[in-house]
Amino acid sequence: MKRIVVPGDLVDEKPVHLMDAFIEGNKTYATVISVYDDDKKTLIPLEGLWYPRKDEIVIGVIEEAKLNTYTVQLNAPYKGIIISKYAESSMANGDMIEASVKELDKTGTVVLSRPRVLNGGKLLRIRPAKVHRLLGRSNTMLRQITDGTGTMIKVGMNGVIWLRGGDTDLATDAVMRIQDEAHVAGLTDRIGSMVKAQAPKPQPAPPHPEEGSE
């Protein structure tokens, strides 16, 4: 049976090693608002912060370009830095970038590598705990939105989403709906039908200018 647990709630009478829980007196308690499945012994967080892990893809905004480094705003407890010599091209303040996490250094700064500037488009911020639901198993959920709306979407594990082209408004609505309804069963089907119902119908190709002129 699934149930919503809040910080301090008993998750299991036995010690179970889970990501968002702690063990005290041989019992397991939750640390964040989550859904616990008693049968599968899984704890899926509904709220939570992003913890940097090596090689994860993140999206951020260049906050400050210094002589040797760039500081990146990551929507996280820590700031990101890119060492200029690892950047293929120069970047300016306000540039949206995608990069992968190289390491979390001792001062609490996330060192990023392989930055790529994202041209155009817009950024969206969602709660990091919902990112896995947005991707879906084998990216099925995300593919459903990109196919239905024609929007190019890049997902940062830090909860920052970049969208460009196609019906971005519909794609935004779908992403925000996933955030709100992540814990409700049958979400993939609902998003599928939402995108299908509202997606712009393909326009007939405009007649070729030379057609009929002869």
CB closer to other proteins out of 19 and 114: 19
d(CA 159, CA 124): 8
Residues that bind other proteins (CB under 8 A): 4, 6-9, 20, 22, 24, 29, 31-33, 45-49, 51, 77-79, 107-108, 127-129, 180-181, 183-186, 190
Nearest distance in Å: CB 51, other proteins:
8
Contact 81, 110 (CB under 8 A): yes
Give me the least distance between CB of 77 and other proteins, in Å please: 4
**Closer to other proteins by Cβ: residue 74 or 118:** 74
b/e 138-161 (16+ beta carbons within 10 angstroms → b): eeebbebbbebbbbbbbbbbbbbb
Provide the minimum distance between the beta carbon of 115 and other proteins in the complex, in angstroms, as a whole number: 21
Which residue from 138, 190, 183, 147 is spatially nearest to 42, judged by alpha carbons? 183
Give the C-alpha separation, 60 to 162, whole Å: 9
Which C-beta is closer to other proteins: that of 151 or that of 179? 179
As a whole number of Å, the end-to-end CA separation of the chain is: 72
- Residue 34: how many CB atoms within 10 A of its CB? 26
Contact between 28 and 35 under an 8 Å Cβ cutoff? The reply is: no
CB 179 → other proteins: shortest distance, Å? 11
What's the closest the beta carbon of residue 8 comes to other proteins, in angstroms?
4
Q: Work out how close the CB of 180 gets to other proteins at its nearest, in angstroms, rounded to a whole number.
A: 6
Residue closer to other proteins (CB basis): 45 or 148: 45
Closest CB to other proteins among residues 139, 193: 193
- Collapse the DSSP code of 78 into the 3-class scheme (helix H, G, I; strand E, B; otherwise coil) and give the result: coil
Torsions phi, psi of 147, nearest 5?
-65, -40
Residue 67 or 184 with smaller CB distance to other proteins: 184
